[in-house]
């Protein structure tokens, strides 16, 4: 029995963190390939405290100018069940769980999403 969330377009066959290129690359079961910038992954961290930070930053854009951006170096990545991946960043932050369906919906390639990468979709 396969679950609805394991349909091909949300099912990775290969996951690679390319530290040199600064990219997280997913090959999907339907043949599509997505490459996410690690800086983007870090900036859209879906954990509760990062979401709150972004909410505050939206209310007060000047907050964005305070301090350096978070370090997008990946310490480790681990699968969460068969539906998500969790990144631990070099600065020790590691609460964000990136659902594969959200990642697929946020694929930055021109066929999926045009223009600037936005927030992580569906998270």
- Sites of contact with Zn ion (CB under 5 A): 45, 47, 50, 96, 107, 109, 112
Distance of alpha carbon 59 from alpha carbon 6, whole angstroms: 37
- Would you say 1 or 114 has its CB closer to Zn ion? 114
Distance of alpha carbon 32 from alpha carbon 43, whole angstroms: 24
- Would you say 6 or 88 has its CB closer to Zn ion? 88
C-beta of 1: minimal distance to Zn ion in Å?
Answer: 28
C-beta of 40: minimal distance to Zn ion in Å?
Answer: 13
- Would you say 1 or 97 has its CB closer to Zn ion? 97
Alpha-carbon torsion, ordered 92, 65, 62, 60, to 10 deg: -20
C-beta of 121: minimal distance to Zn ion in Å?
Answer: 12
With a CB cutoff of 8 Å and minimum separation 6, the contacts of 11 are 28, 29, 82, 100
């Amino acid at each position: 029995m396969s679950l609805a969330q394991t349909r091909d377009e949300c099912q990775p066959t290969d996951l690679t963190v390319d530290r040199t290129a600064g990219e997280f690359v997913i090959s999907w079961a339907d043949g599509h390939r997505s490459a996410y910038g690690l800086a983007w992954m870090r900036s859209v961290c879906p954990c509760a405290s990062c979401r709150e930070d972004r909410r505050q930053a939206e209310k007060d854009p000047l907050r964005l100018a305070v301090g350096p951006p978070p370090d997008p170096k990946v310490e480790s990545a681990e699968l969460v069940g068969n539906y998500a991946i969790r990144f631990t960043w070099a600065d020790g932050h590691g609460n964000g769980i990136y659902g594969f369906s959200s990642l697929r919906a946020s694929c930055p390639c021109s066929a999926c999403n045009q223009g600037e990468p936005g927030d992580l979709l569906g998270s």
